[in-house]
């Protein structure tokens, strides 16, 4: 799964512009479709790579950080009006430390999820559905930790979603439980995504998206570098160097920057049900691409579990959106 650089259930528009929103000329719905296709390719690129999981995550975040660094520099060069300067106020040291911690959570999310995809026999469908289950976790944490009461649709969604998650785990258990470990990794990656969303929730209300994403991605890159050293994973791509670097660049540009940039722009202009529906777009898109490009056909039991999980994810996100009456920020890692 690809995690967006903003929090689920964001209570502000997904733009740093302080002016009133003006309807865009381009279709936000077309942008969402294109964004879903873009992020769906993340699991395919990861599967094609022959490098270790932490190495893949390290290069993906490092390249994405470099791209954002260029954007930050360009913005600084064209920052000429007082209003722009006000919108991009200096970030407090405390917020920088908090964003560094969020970057560590993001690094852990990527490490766990990519590791699940690298387990022999694990399907893209199972891994992506499990890691996308974070709205269920966010709903529970919001209820018990933040004391935000669940409504009926969220409760039904969480019940259905977790029944689907358990169904996938049981269906993929297999001889000797060989795939259970991969499913646990994917689910834990979803847990980290839930913490990522909740942790960034308040910060994104006062920090512009570009600044937030740059600091978080840079921090995640640093943490992944430490992970690679601690786990003994290669700091250099493994396999054909040219192919691996192209895959890493594709991961940084297509799902990490391109896909999520479109999400961040388009989700400001659409209704909450459309946002909620877009949450389940990546698992469906990734599964279809895995079927076409990797010849992975999920078993009947996995398909049934995935269907229950996706329905639960949709209902949970839709119920939350209806309760807050705000457009939630749903994407951008994986």
φ, ψ for residue 89, nearest 5 deg? -70, 160
Pairwise CA distance, residues 186 & 188, whole Å: 5
> Do residues 129 and 190 make contact, with C-beta atoms less than 8 angstroms apart?
no
Does residue 244 carry a pLDDT above 90?
yes
Which pLDDT score, from 0 to 100, does residue 306 have?
87
Pairwise CA distance, residues 84 & 2, whole Å: 30
Q: What is the mean pLDDT of residues 128-147?
A: 79
Which pLDDT score, from 0 to 100, does residue 172 have?
63
Which pLDDT score, from 0 to 100, does residue 177 have?
52
Q: Of 254, 255, 133, 111, which Cα lies nearest the Cα of 190? A: 133
Q: What is the mean pLDDT of residues 46-57?
A: 96
Q: Of 48, 80, 97, 37, which Cα lies nearest the Cα of 255? A: 37
Which pLDDT score, from 0 to 100, does residue 272 have?
53
Which pLDDT score, from 0 to 100, does residue 327 have?
39
Q: Please tell me whether residue 294 adopts helix, strand or coil conformation.
A: coil
CB-side exposure of 185: number of CA atoms within 13 Å?
20
Mean pLDDT of the chain: 80
Q: What is the mean pLDDT of residues 240-252?
A: 96
Which pLDDT score, from 0 to 100, does residue 179 have?
78
Does residue 62 carry a pLDDT above 50?
yes
Position 322 confidence tier, pLDDT thresholds 50, 70, 90: low
Q: Token pair for residue 157?
A: 């969604």
**Among residues of the chain, what percentage have pLDDT more than 70?**
77
Q: Quick one: DSSP state of residue 23?
A: -
Which pLDDT score, from 0 to 100, does residue 10 have?
41
Which pLDDT score, from 0 to 100, does residue 17 have?
40
Tens of pLDDT, residues 101-134: 999 999 999 999 999 999 887 889 889 988 888 7
Angle (CA) 212 136 258, round 5°: 40
Which pLDDT score, from 0 to 100, does residue 186 have?
92
Which pLDDT score, from 0 to 100, does residue 242 have?
96
> Do residues 47 and 334 make contact, with C-beta atoms less than 8 angstroms apart?
no
Q: What is the mean pLDDT of residues 304-328?
A: 74
Which pLDDT score, from 0 to 100, does residue 174 have?
55
Does residue 315 carry a pLDDT above 90?
no
Position 8 confidence tier, pLDDT thresholds 50, 70, 90: very low
Q: What is the mean pLDDT of residues 26-49?
A: 87
Which pLDDT score, from 0 to 100, does residue 123 have?
87
Q: Token pair for residue 204?
A: 């994104």
87: left (phi over 0), alpha (psi -120 to 50) or beta: alpha
The mean-pLDDT minimum among 28-42, 189-203, 278-292 falls in: 189-203
Pairwise CA distance, residues 250 & 172, whole Å: 30
CB-side exposure of 129: number of CA atoms within 13 Å?
32
Q: Token pair for residue 193?
A: 């995504």
Tens of pLDDT, residues 155-193: 888 888 888 888 887 776 655 456 788 888 999 998 898
Composition of the chain by helix, strand, coil, percent to 5: 70, 0, 30
């Amino acid at each position: 799964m690809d995690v967006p650089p903003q929090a689920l259930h964001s209570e502000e528009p997904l733009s740093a512009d302080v002016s009133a929103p003006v309807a865009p000329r381009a279709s936000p719905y077309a942008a969402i479709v294109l964004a879903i296709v873009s992020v769906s390719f993340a699991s395919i690129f990861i599967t094609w790579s022959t490098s270790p999981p932490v190495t893949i995550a390290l290069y993906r975040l490092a390249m994405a950080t470099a791209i954002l660094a260029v954007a930050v520099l360009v913005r600084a060069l064209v920052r000429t009006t007082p209003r722009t300067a006000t919108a991009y106020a200096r970030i407090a040291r405390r917020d920088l430390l908090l964003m560094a911690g969020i970057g560590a959570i993001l690094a852990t999310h990527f490490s766990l999820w990519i590791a699940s995809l690298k387990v022999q026999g694990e399907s893209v469908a199972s891994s992506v559905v499990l890691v996308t289950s974070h709205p269920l976790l966010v709903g529970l944490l919001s209820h018990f930790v933040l004391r935000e009461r669940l409504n009926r649709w969220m409760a039904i969604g969480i019940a259905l979603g977790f029944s689907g998650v358990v169904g996938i785990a049981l269906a993929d258990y297999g001889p000797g439980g060989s795939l259970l470990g991969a499913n646990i990794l994917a689910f834990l990656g979803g847990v980290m995504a839930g913490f990522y969303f909740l942790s960034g929730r308040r910060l994104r209300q006062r920090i512009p998206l570009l600044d937030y994403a740059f600091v978080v991605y840079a921090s995640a890159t640093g943490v992944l570098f430490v992970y690679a050293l601690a786990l003994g994973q290669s700091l250099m791509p493994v396999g054909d160097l040219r192919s691996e670097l192209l895959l890493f660049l594709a991961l940084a540009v297509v799902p990490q920057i391109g896909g999520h940039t479109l999400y961040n722009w388009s989700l400001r202009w659409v209704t909450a049900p459309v946002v909620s529906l877009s949450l389940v777009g990546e698992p469906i898109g990734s599964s279809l691409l895995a079927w076409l490009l990797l010849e992975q056909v999920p078993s009947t039991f996995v398909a049934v579990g995935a269907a229950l999980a996706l329905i639960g994810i949709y209902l949970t996100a839709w119920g939350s959106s209806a309760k807050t009456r705000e457009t939630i920020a749903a994407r951008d890692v994986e």
